[in-house]
Amino acid sequence: MMTNNRKLLDWVKNVAALCKPDAIHWCDGSQEENDRLCAQAEAAGTFIRLNPAKRPNSFLVFSDPADVARVEDRTFVATTDPREAGPNNNWRDPVELKATMRKLYDGCMRGRTMYVIPFSMGPIGSPIAHIGVELTDSIYVVVNMRIMTRIGDAVLEALGDNGEFVECLHSVGAPLAPGQKDVPWPCNAENKYISHFPEDPSIWSYGSGYGGNALLGKKCFALRIASTMARRQGWMAEHMLILGLTNPAGQKIYVAAAFPSACGKTNLAMLQPTLPGWKAECVGDDICWMKFDQNGQLRAINPEAGFFGVAPGTSMKSNPNAMRSLRANCIYTNCALTADNDVWWEELTDEPPAELTSWKREKWTPGCGQKAANPNARYTAPARQCPVIDPAWEDPAGVPIAAILFGGRRPGTVPLCFEAPNWQYGTFLGSIQASETTAAAAGSVGVLRYDPMAMLPFCGYNMGDYFAHWLSMPGRAPNAQMPRVFFVNWFRKSADGRWLWPGFGENSRVLKWIFERIEGTAAAAETPIGLLPAPGAIDVAGLDVAAEDMRELLSVDAAAWLKDLPAIRAHYDKFGDAIPAALHKELDDFEARLQAAAKQADPR
């Protein structure tokens, strides 16, 4: 189907005149089109077809070693006023940046086809969804976007003649001269730009073919651009999983959760509860868009249609439901290749195969001192294949969010779980969300790294203004019903370095307490930091955790919290006068409560 949307037709024409592709292909989203493009990529040496007996209709791709991850230092937010972008973004002047990039785009698609990908972020036609159109010269992008979003004719139909869309322009930046042989992974390692223009809104990406740099529906649209749209329009675009939780009586709630990286977000999204009779189902593992309905209920969709997950560390032990989602129709990037044409990555099995082809296309054997898979190796899998996908995951109306969870990786100080008594204090807790650095990260060990609401790399505008937007949400709808806010920490350790909490499926015990708090049946005790589970309120039946360990998990050490305060204030200082006065007051009141508690604990 073609379109009569004049804005879209003019834009495609203008980009084609600038980038000068040999051909233009409008993607219809069909299986036949997908199969044809995959076969074309296979013939070009870009796709490696995996063993159909093990992984039907699945492919492995090796990228250029210079193009393996998001490039934060080449990711820009271009606004007329630099303050609008804030210290959390790399700011550029939009006029100057567009002029620079137009020079790069000039003729950049010679020898290639420009693919037009109409895509819907969210179920097509949902009042919470939004439409984008990506123009790209990469088959890899087309095939992955088909998994990660809804693409093709149905989106054009929903767009109509006058519908609005976000312009997403992408090129690998590798034009081909007549007769020049292509490489399996074209890119322009020396000239990468991932540029966001919220005032348009549009996204211009150049030089990288990888992940979030090229799949522009991912972080670029779903968070950076959508967050600016949400602020203007009175909704929320968040870096959160969405989980449905059903108790043994058949009652159900939905929770959203924002965790920094390496804090178990995907594992929680696909949780297998250990508590008898409890059921957890996945609506989404990464992005959450929330809008008020006519009754003031905040309802959420997962704007994506697939999972774009980190493969290393994913296994039947760590996340069996993720593994079951990968059985077919997947694209793997920078994983290792086995002798029988299957994929492998670190921690997939207890013992590695005797020989592999590494992500660098080299022979690999155990003990060679190199990783077989790139640490950021990825899988792209259709969400519909997840065995615990929620029945309402594609409901256009969205699911009602009862609670929002924050958390970080904190070996000390932060208890297993506690509740904010109100939305403003909950926003404060999200604004000071942090993880401690480990030996695996560059720099000092034990330093707090703040990642408010897990949005620090992804908020498309000044983070201080983002906090103000959160605070404004209760006034954005008549009878607004705001979710309850909780803070969790699965990573508390004892003084001798033991994990105090088993985590994984046992986290359902904490979710049970949260469920019962919302239901009004679970007890909580007031503390200087919030409402903690009362003694016995966490169900530990059948759990091998000592009583003293549970006391430690649910203890509040006011002196330890007070030690965090200089770092919290320094974190706020980075955003200057953009931090709302209400959060400064919450911080001052927080400090006063902690000082009073510390004095009571040690009256000297």
pLDDT tens per residue across span 403-443: 999 999 999 999 999 999 999 999 999 999 999 875 444 45
Amino acid type, 603: P
Query: pLDDT per residue over 278-335, tens digit each?
Result: 999 999 999 999 999 999 999 999 999 999 999 999 999 989 999 999 999 999 999 9
Alpha helices in 357-488 (DSSP H): 423-431, 463-472
Cβ-Cβ contacts under 8 Å for 425 (sequence gap 6 or more): 485, 530, 586
Tell me, what's the pLDDT at 442? 46
Which DSSP state fits 164?
A: -
Q: Which residue range forms the structural domain that includes residue 353?
A: 307-385
Query: pLDDT per residue over 22-78, tens digit each?
Result: 999 999 999 999 999 999 999 999 999 999 999 999 999 999 999 998 888 999 999
What is the rounded CA–CA span in Å between residue 328 and residue 333? Answer: 15
Number of H helices, E strands in the chain: 16, 31
Rg (CA), the chain: 24
Cβ-Cβ contacts under 8 Å for 65 (sequence gap 6 or more): 360
CATH number for the domain harbouring residue 318? 2.170.8.10
Question: Of 89, 138, 87, 82, nearest to 114 (Cα)?
Answer: 138
Residues 498 and 570 both lie in one domain? yes
The DSSP code sequence of 494-505 is -TTS-BSS--GG
Half-sphere exposure of 401 (CA within 13 A, CB side): 32
CATH number for the domain harbouring residue 446? 3.90.228.20
**Residues written for the chain:** 604
For 364, list phi and psi in degrees, rounded to 5. -130, 135
Residues 512 and 528 both lie in one domain? yes
Query: pLDDT per residue over 543-570, tens digit each?
Result: 999 999 999 999 999 999 999 999 999 9
Average pLDDT over residues 206-232: 97
* Summary mean pLDDT of the chain: 96
Domain boundary among 385, 409, 428: 385
3-state helix, strand, coil in the chain (%, to 5): 30, 25, 45
What is the rounded CA–CA span in Å between residue 424 and residue 472? Answer: 9
Q: Three-class SS of residue 222?
A: helix
In a domain, 572, yes or no: yes
Residues 172 and 220 both lie in one domain? yes
Which residue out of 38, 263, 335, 417 is catalytically annotated? 263
Average pLDDT over residues 522-530: 97
Domain boundary among 364, 385, 406: 385
Tell me, what's the pLDDT at 602? 78
Question: Of 85, 64, 68, nearest to 76 (Cα)?
Answer: 85
Q: How confident is the model at residue 445 (pLDDT cuts 50, 70, 90)?
A: low
Domain boundary among 341, 361, 385: 385
Instruction: Kindly state the percentage of the chain with pLDDT values over 70.
Output: 98
Which DSSP state fits 389?
A: B
Residue 471 tokens read as: 């605070």
Q: How confident is the model at residue 531 (pLDDT cuts 50, 70, 90)?
A: very high
Residues 91 and 209 both lie in one domain? yes
Query: pLDDT per residue over 123-163, tens digit each?
Result: 999 999 999 999 999 999 999 999 999 999 999 999 999 99
In a domain, 545, yes or no: yes
The packing angle between helices 94-105 and 6-19, to 10°, is 60
Report the 10 Å Cβ neighbour count for 537.
Answer: 18
Which DSSP state fits 346?
A: T
Tell me, what's the pLDDT at 444? 60
The packing angle between helices 423-431 and 581-601, to 10°, is 90
Residues 435 and 289 both lie in one domain? yes
In a domain, 52, yes or no: no
330 is catalytic: no
Residues 416 and 345 both lie in one domain? no
Q: Contacts for 208-211 with beta carbons within 8 Å, 24 or more apart? A: 208/67, 208/71, 208/172, 209/63, 209/64, 209/67, 209/138, 209/140, 209/141, 209/172, 209/185, 210/63, 210/67, 210/68, 210/69, 210/70, 210/333, 211/69, 211/70, 211/308, 211/333, 211/376, 211/378
In 263-330, which ranges are E strands? 279-284, 288-292, 298-301, 306-310
Residues 117 and 183 both lie in one domain? yes
In a domain, 1, yes or no: no
Amino acid type, 341: N
CATH number for the domain harbouring residue 194? 3.40.449.10
Q: Are 282 and 243 in contact (CB under 8 A)?
A: yes
Q: Are 218 and 166 in contact (CB under 8 A)?
A: no
What's the start-to-end Cα distance of the chain, in Å?
Answer: 78
Distance of CA 452 to CAs 2, 429, 465, Å? 43, 9, 13
What is the rounded CA–CA span in Å between residue 529 and residue 425? Answer: 10
Specify the number of domains making up the chain.
Answer: 3
In a domain, 413, yes or no: yes
In a domain, 58, yes or no: no
Question: Of 243, 288, 293, 241, nearest to 265 (Cα)?
Answer: 241
Residues 405 and 368 both lie in one domain? no
Residue 238 pairs with which residues in a beta bridge? 288
Residues 28 and 135 both lie in one domain? yes
Instruction: Kindly state the percentage of the chain with pLDDT values over 90.
Output: 94
In a domain, 65, yes or no: no
Answer whether the bond into residue 535 is a cis peptide, omega within 30°: no
Tell me, what's the pLDDT at 443? 53
Q: Could you tell me which residue, 145 or 2, shows the higher pLDDT?
A: 145
The DSSP code sequence of 2-64 is ----HHHHHHHHHHHHHH--SEEEE----HHHHHHHHHHHHHTTSEEE--TTTSTT-EEE---
Tell me, what's the pLDDT at 438? 55
Residues 98 and 218 both lie in one domain? yes
Q: Three-class SS of residue 236?
A: strand
Q: Three-class SS of residue 507?
A: helix
In a domain, 67, yes or no: no
Q: How confident is the model at residue 459 (pLDDT cuts 50, 70, 90)?
A: very high
Note the pTM of the prediction, 2 decimals: 0.96
Residues 109 and 163 both lie in one domain? yes
Residues 271 and 328 both lie in one domain? no
